[in-house]
């Protein structure tokens, strides 16, 4: 039966009852987090003689919300948004990680950022609006937003992820930031998301325009290649290394069968972008 692999009605009924009890317990505790240690870990008595983990010292969801001035009706949502799948693997009592909220937050961000750009820059052409949105919702930029609000401090991570520096890993921070956006949307709607993200967008957009980094290097390279009569560039993963939670990808970009650039990144997306930028540097089309 799904991931439980259970047989028999008695066993199923017992598991269903356990799950429902967990939901009731989580729901009652997350409303005020009674009986939980900072970081969302449940206290089990006095705790004497037990080692204090990094998660136990992490910022709790209420502390995170209070620090940022966020008003949550359901701290259960925020707790889920701050829970990485590596934590769930080590703590079966936790109900859900943040991946579903990440999916929702990604879609909400695309809409909110697009609408903000449309209203903020009424004379900007459609192509520039698209490129600007691409930069503002990129892994690197969302990870930077996460750092600005010190999101890593409030994350619940597994031991391996913590030891690998997960609290400052760009891909993980980006995903967690999207999950927080998803939680804010479910709790406070689009207006709540706008209040949270628009001040950050204002600062980031000014920096992007002042540095003239609106152009995505992959788009720039494709325009150059097609202008020269070539097919669109092809990106090939040369290698990947490292543990599953902290991989590094090496990517080559080929035009007309020749390698024009190479890049390394913590995700395939980041590595292909770095490869495109490397190719533009070699062609003299992008300044340092």
Q: Among candidates 197, 187, 183, 185, which has minimal Cα distance to 115?
A: 197
Q: Cβ neighbours of residue 201 under 8 Å, at least 6 residues apart?
A: 113, 116, 120, 136
Beta bridge partners of 252: 236, 262
Q: Among candidates 144, 143, 121, which has minimal Cα distance to 132?
A: 121
Do the Cβ atoms of 75 and 61 come closer than 8 Å? yes
* Catalytic annotation present for 198: no
Catalytic residue among 59, 178, 187, 215: 178
Percent composition of the chain: helix, strand, coil (DSSP 3-state, to 5): 60, 10, 25
Catalytic residue among 36, 97, 106, 252: 106
Q: How far apart are CA 140 and CA 269, in angstroms?
A: 10
Q: Cβ neighbours of residue 229 under 8 Å, at least 6 residues apart?
A: none
Q: What angle do CA 116, 119, 123 make, to 5 degrees?
A: 125
- Residue owning tokens 């609106």: 214
Please give the torsion angle defined by the CA atoms of residues 194, 199, 201 and 207, in that order, rounded to the nearest 10 degrees. 170
Outline where DSSP puts E strands in 22-133: 36-37, 41-42
Outline where DSSP puts E strands in the chain: 36-37, 41-42, 234-241, 248-255, 258-265
* Catalytic annotation present for 106: yes
Q: Cβ neighbours of residue 110 under 8 Å, at least 6 residues apart?
A: 133, 137
The catalytic residues are 106, 178
């Amino acid at each position: 039966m799904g991931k439980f692999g259970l047989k028999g009605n008695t066993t199923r009924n017992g598991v269903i009852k356990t799950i429902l009890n967990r939901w009731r317990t989580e729901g009652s505790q997350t409303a005020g987090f009674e009986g939980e240690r900072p970081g969302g870990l449940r206290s089990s008595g006095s705790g004497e003689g037990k080692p204090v983990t990094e998660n136990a010292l992490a910022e709790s969801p209420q502390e995170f919300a209070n620090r940022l001035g966020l008003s949550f009706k359901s701290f259960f949502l925020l707790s889920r948004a701050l829970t990485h799948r590596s934590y769930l693997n080590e703590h079966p009592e936790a109900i859900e990680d943040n991946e579903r909220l990440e999916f929702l937050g990604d879609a909400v961000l695309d809409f909110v950022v697009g609408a903000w750009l449309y209203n903020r820059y009424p004379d900007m052409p459609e192509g520039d609006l698209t490129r600007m949105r691409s930069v503002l919702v990129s892994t690197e930029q969302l990870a930077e937003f996460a750092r600005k609000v010190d999101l890593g401090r409030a994350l619940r991570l597994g031991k391996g992820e913590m030891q690998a520096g997960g609290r400052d890993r760009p891909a993980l921070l980006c995903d967690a930031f999207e999950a927080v956006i998803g939680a804010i949307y479910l709790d406070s709607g689009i207006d709540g998301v706008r209040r949270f993200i628009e001040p950050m967008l204002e600062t980031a957009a000014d920096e992007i325009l002042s540095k003239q980094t609106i152009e995505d290097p992959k788009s720039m390279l494709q325009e150059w290649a097609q202008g020269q009569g070539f097919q669109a560039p092809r990106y090939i993963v040369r290698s990947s290394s490292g543990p599953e939670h902290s991989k590094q990808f090496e990517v080559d970009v080929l035009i007309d069968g020749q390698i024009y650039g190479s890049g390394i990144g913590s995700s395939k997306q980041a590595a292909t972008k770095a490869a495109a930028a490397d190719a533009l540097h070699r062609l003299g089309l992008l300044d340092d």
